Chains A and B, each alone.
Chain A
Amino acid sequence: MAFVNLKNVTYKYPLTDKPALQNINLQIKEGEFVAIVGPNGAGKSTLCYTLAGFAPHFFKGELSGTVEVAGKISNQSTLDEWVLNVGLAFQNPFNQISGAKYTVFEEIAFGLENIGIPRDEMKKRVEDAMTLTGITDLADRSPYSLSGGQQQRVALTSILVMRPKLLVLDEPTSQMDPIGTREVFGTIRKMAEEGMTVVLVEHKVEWIAEFADRVIAMHNGQVLLEGNPSEVLTSNVLIKNGFGLSRYTSAAREAKKLGIWKKEKLPVTLDEAVEGFKK
């Protein structure tokens, strides 16, 4: 039985005619790290909101089909129960700061206060989560005084500390530098290996190839392709539909036209490109 199971899921925002998600079928195993790619407006964020319960519980609108996570059905649950299993962090870190807390430490504790974790355990969990994401030195800073990348780490930590079974991340590293991104992806990978299921929307595809188990390519509210990252991310179908390629894939494509790239399969990451060009 899949841990996440979407069956014929179609979702329409209120006051819209065209569904933002159309007939999505998706199964994810526990501890799997799944990445989602797709052009703007493909429905990636909507899929995140659906997994996290906000569509339809927060946005209203119409959801048909079934969304099942950890044995529970979204339509038969309430949002406050749902978020105990599913954590969501999204792109703009500034809007994820609660605005009610004075320091980063308190900010991260906010969620645990809300769900009633006793004080001692709360402190321990906040400290552990901050160590995990490498922000212990920010503990006493004001969340508003941080850089965008640091705020994104705080947003991620604020969700990780809740220990969700399914972690949904919508472009969580958009304001980080490559070193920061690598660290955060490393952390997420580790969480997945420890059994947390992860769904991540990411534009920078070379990271996906390196860290994710599987890729889902979305287009017009539908799943266009899914499978192994190195295959999906170099597929001609993506190129035809206006998806962004990794720069290594683009370079190798050009090289292939000139006959310099000899292999059939195109690279996604730097390592694969170097490997291929060596031969």
Chain B
Amino acid sequence: MRERLSFYIKRDSVLHRLNPLTKLTLTMALILIAFLSPWYWTPHFILLAAVLPLSFAGRVFPEFIKTALRLILPAATFLFLMQAIFQPVGETVIFKFYFLDVTRESLMFAFRNATRIFVMVSSFTLFLLTTHPSELMSDLSRRGLPGQFAYVIISTLQILPQIQAKAQTIIAAQRSRGLDTESTFFKRAGAIVPLVGPLVFGSFIEVEERAIAIEARGFTSKNLKTSLQEIADPSFERTVRWVLILLIIISALLNLWPS
């Protein structure tokens, strides 16, 4: 089995050393500003001038590009095509697609939205690649986020790859018993049914057992939690966070401004 769970890659970089909350705020700021700012080129600018350089600063560029492209290129392309074709704005017809007109305006619109999605997923990917999940959890619960809440987020991030692996195992097992998971779409759709049982029922018992296991380890203890990792939070990072929040607010206001 592979060593890597979740997305996190252990490296030493400026980005890795940032406090998890600062990184989370930065991620949210990049995404929200890309969506809120009224200036057309903002998302593109954020992608090229912030997200990409940050991936180098975090020393995770190759993994970043690979994960980001695999996750979003299909979705962003689809979105781009749908919006380019169906968005009924503008007059400058560039070409006709059967009865549909593709206009310059709709292309521009689609390009911006696809880039926004790209910014969203890629900033989040970058965040996950450079943030230790349990550091995030400790830091958030130290700041008063209920432990259960933090746990749900973190363990979901961690366990997803496991569920994926388990689905693979079940599929392999069912296939070895003659189940067809590879031919036509309808046959495959029918073949999913026997997979659902073990996956869902299995997960149900697993969830219960996992709950017991973490309760047995004091998860709901009323004591003040401590953390193994020392999580630094220098005062300039607090300033950085406030500046980021201010930028988000400014973008929101500009967005609301009647133009």
Contacts and interface: CB of A to CB of B under 8 A. Distances in A.
A115 B154 contact: no
B91 interface: no
A54 interface: yes
Contacts of B206: 94-95
Interface stretch (B3-11, B92-100, B238-246): B3-11
A195 interface: no
A88 B212 contact: yes
B73 interface: no
A98 B226 contact: no
Given A102-B133, A122-B228, A144-B5, A92 B209 contact: yes
A99 B210 contact: yes
Interface string B203-225: 00010011111111111111111
A89 B209 CA distance: 10
A158 interface: yes
A260 interface: no
A83 interface: yes
A90 to B, nearest CB: 7
B230 interface: yes
B13 interface: no
B5 A115 contact: no
B30 interface: no
A99 B134 contact: no
Contacts of A49: 212
B214 A113 contact: no
Contacts of A255: none
Interface in B123-150: 132-134, 137-138, 147
Given A114-B218, A114-B221, A100 B3 contact: no
A90 B225 CA distance: 25
B146 to A, nearest CB: 13
B151 interface: yes
A54 B191 CA distance: 38
B227 interface: yes
Interface residues of A, number: 45
B217 A144 contact: no
B226 A144 contact: no
B5 A100 contact: no
Nearest to B223: A116
Given A79-B215, A83-B216, A122-B226, A116 B221 contact: yes
B162 interface: yes
A159 interface: yes
A80 B4 contact: no
Contacts of A101: 133-134
Given A114-B219, A142-B3, A54 B228 contact: no
Given A90-B209, A96-B210, A116-B226, A142 B5 contact: yes
A109 interface: yes
Contacts of B133: 100-102
A145 B225 contact: no
B162 A110 contact: no
Interface string B1-28: 1111110101000000000000000000
B87 interface: no
Interface in A100-141: 100-102, 105-106, 109-119, 122-123, 141
B159 interface: yes
B220 A113 contact: no
B174 interface: no
B113 interface: no
Nearest to A158: B217
A270 interface: no
B49 to A, nearest CB: 31
Contacts of B224: 116
A232 interface: no
Contacts of A106: 134, 228-229
30 contacts: A54-B216, A58-B212, A58-B215, A80-B218, A88-B212, A90-B209, A92-B209, A95-B209, A95-B210, A98-B213, A98-B214, A99-B210, A100-B151, A100-B158, A101-B133, A102-B5, A102-B8, A102-B133, A102-B134, A111-B218, A113-B226, A114-B221, A114-B225, A116-B226, A119-B226, A119-B227, A122-B226, A155-B213, A158-B217, A159-B216
Given A95-B210, A113-B227, 19 more contacts: A79-B215, A83-B217, A84-B221, A88-B216, A90-B209, A90-B212, A90-B213, A95-B206, A95-B213, A99-B154, A99-B162, A99-B210, A106-B228, A114-B219, A114-B221, A116-B224, A116-B226, A145-B2, A155-B213
Q: What are the nearest 10 A-B pairs in CB distance?
A: A111-B217, A116-B223, A95-B209, A114-B218, A99-B155, A96-B213, A115-B218, A109-B228, A88-B216, A80-B220
Interface of B: 1-6, 8, 10, 132-134, 137-138, 147, 151, 154-155, 158-159, 162, 206, 209-230
